[in-house]
Amino acid sequence: MRVPVAITPDNPLLSEPSQPADRSLAIDDNCTQVRAINCMTAPDQVSKFVRLSLSPNTRRAYLSDIDHFAGWGGVIPSSAETVARYLADCAGTLRIATLKRRLASITKAHAAIGAPTPVSDEIVRATLRGIRRSRSVPRKEAKPLLREELFAVLDGMGTATRDVRDRALLLIGFAGGFRRSELVGLDHADIEPVRQGIVIHLRRSKTDQAGEGRRVGIPHGRTRHGPVQALDRWITLSCRTRGPLFSPITRGGSVGAERLSGEAVSVIVKRRVAAVGIDPNSYSGHSLRAGFATSAAQIGVPSWKIRAQTGHASDAMLAHYIRIGEIFVENPAGILL
Residues that are catalytic = 179, 206, 286, 289, 312, 321
User: Cα–Cα distances in Å, from 35 out to 109, 116, 237, 295?
Assistant: 11, 11, 57, 49
Residue 182 in contact with residue 191, Cβ under 8 Å?
A: no
CA geometry: angle 107, 7, 50, nearest 5 deg = 70
Return d(Cα 87, Cα 85) in angstroms, integer: 5
Q: Please give the sequence-ordered ranges of beta strands (E in DSSP) within the chain, or none if there are none.
A: 2-6, 24-28, 191-194, 197-202, 214-219
User: Cα–Cα distances in Å, from 14 out to 90, 106, 235, 335?
Assistant: 22, 10, 41, 56
Going by their DSSP bridges, the two strands 24-28 and 2-6 should be labelled as: antiparallel
Largest CA distance in the chain: 73
Q: Which residues pair with 4 in a beta bridge?
A: 26
**175-200: b or e for each residue (b if 16 or more CB lie within 10 Å)?**
bbbbbbebbbbbeeebbeeeeebbeb
